[in-house]
Structure formats: structure tokens, C-alpha cells
Structure 1
Amino acid sequence: MKRAILTTLMSAVLAAGLTVGAVNLATAEENNTKKLIKALTSDNLGWRVSAAQILGDNQEERAVKPLIRMLNNDFSYAARLSAAVALAKIGDKKALRALKKVSKHDRNQTVRTVALGAHEMLENSNAQLASEK
């Protein structure tokens, strides 16, 4: 009898611990995303580029608007390149207009080329999704 009660209690404690761990993990991920989005405006170019890459790899949709701002306004071509690639990886059609504009008007040829490729990639994926519906 004592063994059954002890087993039940241990199971309850373990389940509670797993639930708390999952909640803590979700909170940590939320905090990390906020920090990465904030890093997009850092004075440190390496942080901006790295943050854009991570947000793109994670397909973080909350980063679309900040990445568009980075694409349009950052003085560094490396940061603008990273923003274009990240937007393509995220795949949100809200980025189409900005990518098209940058593909025509950015002062750096490499940024224009990458933005054009990202724009075409997004257009094609959105067209494919529409045809599947």
C-alpha cells in the first residue's frame, strides 16, 4: 500500500516537473526571440547579422517587420543581405513588396541580386500554396 502511494506521488511530482519545464522552455524561447529582434537594431554589426540569421533559421514570423526595416534602412550591405535571406526563409508574403523594391533600388548589386532571388522564391512558394488550395 505504501509503495503504491509512493509511486503515485512520484508520478505526480514528475508530471508537475515536466509541465513546469515545458512552461519554462516556452518562456525562455519567447525571451530569446525578443532579444534577437532587439539585436537587429544593435550597434554591433555581428549581432545584427547573427540575429537575422537565427530568426530566419527559426522561421520567426514576429521578426518580419523588424527584418523589413533592417532590409530597407541598415547602412551595412551585410546586414541587408542577412535580412533578405532571413525573410525568404520565414516565407511571409508581407516581405514581397520590400524585397521587390530593394531588388531594384539598393545601392549594392549583391543585395539587389539576393533580394530578387528571395522575392522570386517567396512568390513561387505563395503561388504553389495557392494552387494547392
Structure 2
Amino acid sequence: MAHWLYKSEPNVWSWDDQVAKGDAGEPWNGVRNFLARKHLQAMRNGDTGFFYHSNEGKAIVGVVEVVREYYPDPSDETGRFGMVDLKAVRPLKRPVTLQEIRQEPRLADMVLVNNSRLSVQPVTDAEWAVVLELGGL
């Protein structure tokens, strides 16, 4: 199983919005970056990820799971990009801020630290464990 990080502006799509969709989940659409597309294509059902509030809050706030693998994004008129469906699994007991992540030596190589603009990112097993620890899980 792989781990990922999904960035969303909370005023556009928040953790609470994701939770409200229940077990059916919601398409993670609108990705228009080729590297992020490659990550979406690599995802498998059951893969887990962090839900990250970008711009406002700048913090990992919850855990999500892939419930539908990559398929075409109907909002993409070019037909080049796709999406996966995600469901909320659980919130972190406390948000883990970008500032905390940057200050944690064990997370120095995390993509979020080194390429913070990428909207969908891989997370290593070791990084996953550290963030869960920081978030109280």
C-alpha cells in the first residue's frame, strides 16, 4: 500500500466537505499537473493519504483512502487528465502544520517541504509514521 498527500484550499474543498461525502467518497478532480497526474495514475484502491489544507491553515488535518482508481476527469476538455475518488477515514487528533513539518528533521526530505506547490504528492512509509505520531494517531 502506498501513501499520498492531497492538497486542497479549505474555502474550495475542506476536510469537513470530504467527511460529509461519507463512504461513497468524492472525485479528486481538477488536477492539471503532469507529475500529479502520474501520481494519481499510480494509486490503487486502499491506498491512504493525508488531507492537507493549503493556503488557509497550511496543515495536515485528516486521513483519506482511495476508493476508486484513476479514470478520466470529465472537467478536462483536453482529455489528458484524470482523477481518483477519495473517502475520509479519520481526522488527526491535532492538525500537523507545515511549520512543524519543516522543523521536524525526520521530514526534511518530504515532498511537501521541497516542492510545496505540487497538489498530489507521494509520502514514504517513514514520513507517514512521523506525521501520524505528530498528529496524535
Instruction: Give the shorter-chain TM-score range.
Output: under 0.3
Larger radius of gyration: 1
Q: Which structure carries more helix by proportion?
A: 1
Q: Which structure carries more strand by proportion?
A: 2
**TM-score when scaled to structure 1?**
0.24
